[in-house]
Amino acid sequence: MNPAMSSTDPRGYTVPDGLLRERVILVTGAGRGIGKAAALAFAAHGASVVLLGRNAQQLEDVHATITAAGHPEPAIAVMDLARSLAPAYLDLVEQLRQRYGRLDGLLHNAGILGHRTPIEQYDVATWHEVLHVNLTAPFVLTQLMIPLLRASADASIVFTSSSVGRRGRAYWGAYAVSKFGIEGLAQVLADELQNVSRIRVNCLNPGGTRTRMRRQAYPGEAPEARPEPAAIMAPYLYLMGPDSRGVTGQSFDCQ
Ligand code: NAP
């Protein structure tokens, strides 16, 4: 255990050099925002990152940034989590199996906000899409990746939560409900895998962060009021690295 680390709060984690060397970590929504920052941080600490997203150009740009910096070459997986069906998921699993033979980390980061609307007026199609991208797709991806995660000596699944997924707030609709669901999924899965696998499962709430989603949710807020994604990476690195071994079924905050 890194001595600079408090056992219960990863916000003050001092990240050792080469923390993620030899690890293979998949990041969803890796093309921009928090997912991009996580992919860059993981690669900078030695991980081979699998960049998953629906926008190929964004993923290629992140790939180019990582290789230009001399970090391990990432892989790209173009997938639209709102629309992908079983063959696309199975194809991804098979490609990772052939290329790496295992998965050490899975960061479920991709998400959509939907509309900020009262439940009385909430559009049903939007409800379905938000629940699908934010909750069902992480469930399916996790289920199919478990065999590759089991092949790791020390695997970590991180689900991205939100403060409105812990205490409901007016007008957050399907987004809040999806994040409550993610907290529940993480707890159930952590309990199932504890003591019978080397896979740990936790939730991480980034807190208000300077991204497109934050601007969409709070259009009147000054962007500088919130930290850049790169500034909140310590807990992500902690949960993906060996210092969090044995930590499972918990919910953490980045801010
Ligand atoms: P963002 O800037 O809107 O980025 C969201 C990412 O998810 C993008 O890469 C986006 O790809 C991807 N994505 C959305 N729908 C997708 C789909 N159907 N298939 C594949 N990828 C898809 O949001 P963010 O602020 O970085 O949020 C990242 C995570 O943190 C989310 O789970 C969010 O709920 C959570 N969070 C954020 C805040 C905050 O203040 N920013 C606070 C609490 C929690 P495209 O570029 O293709 O759209």
CATH of the domain at 66: 3.40.50.720
Ligand 1 pocket mutation pick from 80, 131, 164, 213 by most atoms within 8 angstroms of CB? 213
Residue among 132, 161, 211, 224 to mutate when testing ligand 1 (max atoms within 8 A of CB): 211
Question: 143-193, pLDDT tens digit by residue?
Answer: 999 999 999 999 999 999 999 999 999 999 999 999 999 999 999 999 999
38 lines ligand 1 (CB under 6 A): no
User: Is 26 domain-assigned?
Assistant: yes
- Tell me whether residue 205 is in a domain: yes
Say if 128 falls within a structural domain. Answer: no
41/113 Cα distance (integer angstroms): 24
Is residue 84 assigned to a domain?
yes
Torsions phi, psi for 227 (to 5 deg): -70, 155
* 8 Å CB contact between 184 and 203: no
Q: How many domains does the chain contain in total? A: 1
**Residues spanned by the domain of 73:** 19-112+145-162+196-253
Which ligand 1 atom sits closest to the C-alpha of 213? 3
156 lines ligand 1 (CB under 6 A): no
Which pLDDT value is given to residue 8? 65
Give the residue, by CA position, lying nearest to ligand 1 atom 3: 213
| pLDDT at residue 38, rounded to an integer | 98
In the structure encoding, which two tokens stand for residue 91, read together?
A: 């194809």
Per-residue pLDDT tens over the stretch 107-121: 999 999 999 999 999
**188 part of a folded domain:** no
In a domain, 136, yes or no: no
Tell me, yes or no, if 218 is annotated catalytic.
Answer: no
In this model, does residue 16 exceed pLDDT 70? yes
Whole-structure pTM over 0.85, yes or no?
A: yes
Residue at 120 is within a domain? no
The alpha carbon of 44 is separated from its chain's Cα centroid by a whole number of angstroms, namely 17
pLDDT, tens digit, 9 for 90 and up, residues 55-83: 999 999 999 999 999 999 999 999 999 99
pLDDT grade for 7, boundaries at 50, 70 and 90: low
Q: Is residue 77 part of a domain?
A: yes
